[in-house]
Amino acid sequence: MRKAKVYFKGTPAGILAEDKNGFVFRYEDDYFLHSTFRPISMTMPKSQQVYHHPTLFPVFYNMLPEGANKETLCRLLKIDENDFFGLLLATAQYDTIGAITVIPIYE
Protein backbone atom coordinates (compact mmCIF):
# COMPACT_ATOMS: atom_id res chain seq x y z
CA MET A 1 0.00 0.00 0.00
CA ARG A 2 1.39 3.41 -0.97
CA LYS A 3 1.08 6.22 1.57
CA ALA A 4 1.89 9.89 1.86
CA LYS A 5 1.90 12.56 4.51
CA VAL A 6 -0.18 15.57 3.50
CA TYR A 7 0.96 19.01 4.63
CA PHE A 8 -1.15 22.15 4.65
CA LYS A 9 0.91 25.35 4.69
CA GLY A 10 3.87 23.32 5.94
CA THR A 11 1.98 21.70 8.84
CA PRO A 12 1.36 17.93 8.86
CA ALA A 13 -2.37 17.63 8.20
CA GLY A 14 -3.05 13.98 7.50
CA ILE A 15 -2.23 10.71 5.81
CA LEU A 16 -3.33 9.80 2.28
CA ALA A 17 -3.15 6.12 1.35
CA GLU A 18 -4.11 3.85 -1.49
CA ASP A 19 -5.87 0.59 -0.68
CA LYS A 20 -7.70 -2.15 -2.59
CA ASN A 21 -10.90 -0.06 -2.65
CA GLY A 22 -9.36 3.23 -3.77
CA PHE A 23 -8.04 5.94 -1.47
CA VAL A 24 -8.34 6.92 2.17
CA PHE A 25 -7.49 10.15 3.97
CA ARG A 26 -7.44 10.84 7.69
CA TYR A 27 -6.52 14.03 9.50
CA GLU A 28 -3.69 13.83 12.04
CA ASP A 29 -5.04 14.12 15.60
CA ASP A 30 -2.89 17.19 16.36
CA TYR A 31 -4.12 18.92 13.20
CA PHE A 32 -7.73 18.05 13.94
CA LEU A 33 -7.54 19.32 17.51
CA HIS A 34 -5.91 22.66 16.61
CA SER A 35 -8.86 25.03 16.27
CA THR A 36 -7.19 27.51 13.89
CA PHE A 37 -6.05 24.94 11.31
CA ARG A 38 -8.32 24.90 8.27
CA PRO A 39 -9.50 21.81 6.38
CA ILE A 40 -7.43 20.91 3.34
CA SER A 41 -10.57 21.03 1.20
CA MET A 42 -14.15 22.19 1.60
CA THR A 43 -15.21 18.69 0.52
CA MET A 44 -13.18 17.19 3.38
CA PRO A 45 -14.08 19.12 6.55
CA LYS A 46 -11.91 18.54 9.60
CA SER A 47 -13.18 15.35 11.18
CA GLN A 48 -11.83 12.32 12.97
CA GLN A 49 -13.53 10.09 10.43
CA VAL A 50 -11.62 8.40 7.65
CA TYR A 51 -12.55 9.68 4.20
CA HIS A 52 -12.85 7.09 1.41
CA HIS A 53 -12.94 7.67 -2.34
CA PRO A 54 -12.83 5.13 -5.17
CA THR A 55 -10.48 7.35 -7.17
CA LEU A 56 -7.91 9.94 -6.14
CA PHE A 57 -9.71 12.64 -4.13
CA PRO A 58 -10.47 15.67 -6.34
CA VAL A 59 -8.38 18.01 -4.14
CA PHE A 60 -5.30 15.89 -4.94
CA TYR A 61 -6.21 15.07 -8.54
CA ASN A 62 -6.44 18.80 -9.26
CA MET A 63 -2.80 19.18 -8.22
CA LEU A 64 -1.60 16.99 -11.11
CA PRO A 65 0.03 18.32 -14.26
CA GLU A 66 -1.96 18.07 -17.48
CA GLY A 67 -1.40 17.79 -21.20
CA ALA A 68 2.15 17.98 -22.53
CA ASN A 69 3.56 18.62 -19.05
CA LYS A 70 1.98 15.40 -17.77
CA GLU A 71 3.18 13.40 -20.78
CA THR A 72 6.74 14.69 -20.41
CA LEU A 73 6.88 14.06 -16.65
CA CYS A 74 5.44 10.57 -16.98
CA ARG A 75 7.96 9.70 -19.67
CA LEU A 76 10.94 11.14 -17.75
CA LEU A 77 9.90 9.64 -14.41
CA LYS A 78 8.75 6.34 -15.97
CA ILE A 79 5.26 6.63 -14.48
CA ASP A 80 2.19 5.24 -16.22
CA GLU A 81 -0.03 8.15 -17.31
CA ASN A 82 -2.97 6.52 -15.51
CA ASP A 83 -1.06 6.17 -12.21
CA PHE A 84 -2.40 9.39 -10.73
CA PHE A 85 -1.21 8.58 -7.21
CA GLY A 86 2.29 7.77 -8.46
CA LEU A 87 2.37 11.05 -10.35
CA LEU A 88 1.14 12.93 -7.26
CA LEU A 89 3.83 11.31 -5.10
CA ALA A 90 6.51 12.24 -7.64
CA THR A 91 5.47 15.84 -8.23
CA ALA A 92 3.63 17.27 -5.21
CA GLN A 93 6.54 17.32 -2.78
CA TYR A 94 8.06 20.64 -3.61
CA ASP A 95 6.88 23.73 -5.40
CA THR A 96 3.13 23.21 -5.63
CA ILE A 97 0.50 25.78 -6.47
CA GLY A 98 -1.55 26.27 -3.34
CA ALA A 99 -1.11 25.29 0.28
CA ILE A 100 -0.88 21.49 -0.02
CA THR A 101 2.25 19.38 -0.38
CA VAL A 102 2.35 15.59 -0.43
CA ILE A 103 5.41 13.66 0.79
CA PRO A 104 5.67 9.90 0.16
CA ILE A 105 6.01 7.62 3.19
CA TYR A 106 8.37 4.72 2.56
CA GLU A 107 7.93 1.81 4.97
Q: In this predicted structure, what is the pLDDT of residue 77?
A: 92
- Structural domain boundaries enclosing 10: 3-105
Q: In this predicted structure, what is the pLDDT of residue 36?
A: 95
Q: In this predicted structure, what is the pLDDT of residue 95?
A: 75
Q: In this predicted structure, what is the pLDDT of residue 104?
A: 95
- pLDDT at position 10 over 80: yes
Q: What domain count does the chain have?
A: 1
Q: How far apart are CA 11 and CA 3, in angstroms?
A: 17
Q: In this predicted structure, what is the pLDDT of residue 97?
A: 81
Over residues 24-37, mean pLDDT: 96
Over residues 7-11, mean pLDDT: 95
Q: Is pLDDT larger for residue 107 or for residue 48?
A: 48
CA distances for 5 relative to 17, 64, 66, 71, 100, angstroms: 9, 17, 23, 25, 10
User: Could you tell me which of 95, 93, 91, 71 has the C-alpha nearest to residue 82?
Assistant: 71
Give the distance between the most distant pair of CA atoms in the chain. 43
Q: How confident is the model at residue 107 (pLDDT cuts 50, 70, 90)?
A: confident
Condensed to tens digits (0 to 9), the pLDDT of residues 40-98 reads 999 999 999 999 999 999 999 999 999 999 999 999 999 999 999 999 999 998 878 88
Q: Are 46 and 30 in contact (CB under 8 A)?
A: no
